[in-house]
A and B are shown apart, each in its own frame.
Chain A
Amino acid sequence: MSEKFDEIPMAGNIIEPGNAIEYKTGGWRAERPIHIAEKCLWVKNGTCGLCWIYCPDNAIRLIEKDGKYIHEFDYDYCKGCKICYTECPTDAIVMESE
């Protein structure tokens, strides 16, 4: 945020698309979601995925690898909004203070 007026693009145009990835928002988080694999339907049988659907920051990764289902949070971008925690039908996500 130190650029001068002539060091930034004209009129605020964002000339590189998709550059939001450079802006890590994980630091905004007051509470962190914790995943409980034993309760998770994705881990159990590769179904549900509601947390992935609802996450507004694409901060949940559902991975299928060697016949196994893995659930991961991307804490670089997770803002701790609790939407996944609210939506999870099996209470497989809990929130913890940072």
Chain B
Amino acid sequence: MALDFAKGITEIRWHGRGGQGVVTSNQMLGKSALTEGNYIQAFPEFGPERTGAPVRAFLRISKNPIQIYAQVYHPDVVVCIDPTLLEVVNPVEGLKEDGVLVLNTTKTPEEIREKYGFKGGKVVTVDASKIAMDILGRPFYNMPTLAAVIKATEIVELKTAIETVLERYPGKVGDLNKAAMERAAEEAKIG
């Protein structure tokens, strides 16, 4: 029997590399959801923390207190913030058929669907690498990819997420991330 242990909970899995800020963007999305009145769990999968090693982070969002404490096995949303990781990890593993796949890539949603044979739900692509290099001048793909997640899922308002990021990074870094997020929300392609 297939039992659903996550009723009423939106579950998100992030893929990134150590040092790219996947834990932080996961927390930013979580805190934004919290601000909008939800209960959350935002937790990373910790190993020996090494820069460049593949890392995952998980998020649960619910209107009610969340009781389950385990990794996310069947996410509603999968996010991958590093295009080079797509050769290492399988982003659609466990993803629900009607789930949302958000990737930092130069490819189109159609190309991604074909590559992974993912037919249902939504595929969202954004060239967060270019946006980050253009605006931040450094390979911080996490916040622009976060903006694409929000555009696709509408799980929180972009405004809330930007405010959360500005609170965490006041000053110039925050302002640049804001610009990157706004541009990513515009450019993200849903297909």
Consider the complex of A and B and state whether they touch directly, i.e. have CB atoms less than 8 Å apart.
Answer: no
Using a CB–CB cutoff of 8 Å, the interface residues on chain A facing chain B are none
Using a CB–CB cutoff of 8 Å, the interface residues on chain B facing chain A are none
